[in-house]
Structure 1
Amino acid sequence: MEYKIDQEEILTTRAKVKKGSYALVPPLGPVTNRIPEMVSCSVYILAAKELGADFVQYLVYAEPGCGTNQVFAGEEGIEVFVFVLEGNVKLSCGKNTYEAQAHDYLSAPPGVGVEFINHSEKTVKLLLQTRRYIFLDGVEAPPVLFGKGDQVKPEKCDGKDNNVIRELIPDKLSYDIQMSIITFYPGASHTFLECHFQEHGLYCLEGSASYMLSDTWTLIKKDDFLWVGAFIPHGCYCAGNKPFSYLYSKVVNRTPAL
């Protein structure tokens, strides 16, 4: 998939990047990358160590009949999380295979990797996040996890009725990552501006928000990606008359390294 560009306009961008601190990556900005495990797909890299992140975030478009040609992210110690943004796709992890649709997700244990193929007649849009799993003495790595985000029960977030969270990953020590869908309804906001040691990856699923990044308020829209580095103040207000919803990640259940 390619975004259309009006060549008569002066070149501008909504991107805001402060390496090592934060980044707003809008849909128009990233360029396609040739990834050996999925050469037939259009792949955009939204975050990587070159930015300052401890994970890699991929946005992938797979046309009908396209997908992986070998296991992706199967290296020792690497875990991968897949979230279906649009379309229907077959996901595989080890001996497990799933027919997935929008907002379904798969979490692969370290060293197993994933495969996918688009058997439908429409383009499939995926988010993939890879990172190095943090092993914990006496605790086994988690099993393969497949779920449906829209069927996860929403819970109050920050004690507010107009701010809800759907936890996609079980709250168990074996998991070192939290993946959630957070929704702010019109008029909702964070209770306070957060400032903590975990990084965040945030992909906007719908709506818009005024989002604080460090000391600057920035408008966030559907399909924008945010990377928030350690100890960067951040928080948002839902903007407009539609809910603002995003997929969110952070490291959990682990002692900070020295």
Structure 2
Amino acid sequence: MTRRYAAPPGGHPPQSDLLTGRAVMTDAYAVIPRGVQRDIVTSRLPHWEGTRLWILARPLSGFAETFSHYAMEVAPGGGADRPESDPRAEGGLFVTDGELRLRSGHLDERLGPGMFAYLPPGADWRLRADGEAPARFHWIRKVWTPVEGLAPPEAFVADEGEIAPDPMPGTEGRWATTRFMDPDDLRHDMHVTIVTLAPGAAIPFLETHVMEHGLYVLEGQGVYRLNTDWVEVEAGDFMWLRAFCPQACYAGGPGPFRYLLYKDVNRHAPLGPVVAG
């Protein structure tokens, strides 16, 4: 089945539009709706050619301190031979539009919509848009947390269309998760998944847990409970949740409600800053 994935619209609204919108930043969560992901808020990166990006999340002291998340747009022929400047950073790339060529060690892959690539810390990788139209993808970055006896995971590429969604028990598949990482592989300290809810399906309780979350709505519409607020969201909206923010949702549109989700996993909770002995 061919899927369509939302991306930032860019451009600018007309002068006649009202200023009232759905963007909100609170102590517990943020919502960056698609309507504010415009040209004026794009950024550029060193060593990237023909590229602009929307920085949707970055570590903020006292809020969510773990991830950065870029919505990337690369013109044909653009890209980078030195894409990552931090040797501690692992990355997850999820393609929403266009075609990319990824080279890293033994990998030489063409990535299209629905494909995901994991890149471990210190990886030597290169990325180019090699189609006739701009390529768009999400780039999720995190400092990999070392553990004695565990090596970083290897780089890999996966295709959403070739992964069987994992249904939540008791939902008859109406709430399911497509997992790009093996949940039993403790080398991974972040998980990137796609959550799918059929029309009318729900997460029927207030999840309240230690993981920080980023959620980018790929398709459909839903209503999300974030802390004490009910928020309507649609394809192209982004939600950022700090640890222990209560959350639940139901799919509110005529079609599936699907979002790209990432969170930190499989590590001890830090007990404060490390003090030199």
What range describes the TM-score normalised by the shorter chain of this pair?
over 0.9
1:240 aligns with 2:253: yes
CA distance change for structure 1 residues 218 and 83 in 2, over 3 Å: closer, same or farther? same
Indicate the larger mover: 190-199 or 10-19: 10-19
CA deviations on 1:194-244 (whole Å, 9 max, x unpaired) are 010100111111001000111000011001111111000011000021100
Q: What is the aligned partner in structure 1 of residue 6 from structure 2?
A: none
- For 1:199, the aligned partner's letter is E
Q: 1:179 to 1:103 in 2, by over 3 A?
A: same
Equivalent residues of 1:195, 1:232 under 8 A apart: yes
Q: CA deviation at 1:158?
A: 4.4
Task: Give the distance between the partners of 2:58 and 2:70, measured in 1 at CA.
Answer: 9
Indicate which of 137, 154, 173 corresponds to 1:126: 137
- Of stretches 5-14 and 165-174 in structure 1, the one that deviates more from structure 2 is 5-14
Residue number in structure 1 paired with 2:179: 167
1:176 correspondence with 2:183: no
Q: CA RMSD in A?
A: 1.6
Number of aligned pairs? 256
1:257 maps to a residue whose letter is P
Which of 14, 25, 42 is the equivalent residue of 1:32? 42
Verify: 1:230 aligned to 2:236, yes or no: no
Aligned: 1:57 with 2:33? no
Deviations 1:124-179 (A, max 9, x none): 11100111101111111100011101211111124312111111111201111111
Distance 1:113 1:16 in 2: 37
**1:59-115: CA deviation from partner (whole Å, max 9, x where unpaired):** 0111212112x3222522210110001111112234422101001011101111543
SS at match of 2:35: coil
In 2, the alpha carbon distance for the partners of 1:203 and 1:74 equals 24
Q: Does 1:208 align with 2:215?
A: no
- After TM superposition, list the pairs within 5 Å mapping 1:1-258 onto structure 2: 2-19=10-27, 21-30=28-37, 31-50=41-60, 52-53=63-64, 54-68=66-80, 70-112=81-123, 114-161=125-172, 162-171=174-183, 172-258=185-271
Q: Percent identity?
A: 29
Matches of 2:101 and 2:22, distance apart in 1: 34
Q: What SS does the corresponding residue of 2:158 show, helix, strand or coil?
A: strand
8 Å contact kept, 2:204–2:249: no
**Consecutive unaligned residues in structure 2, runs of 5 or more:** 1-8, 272-277
Q: Which runs of 5+ in 1 are unaligned?
A: none
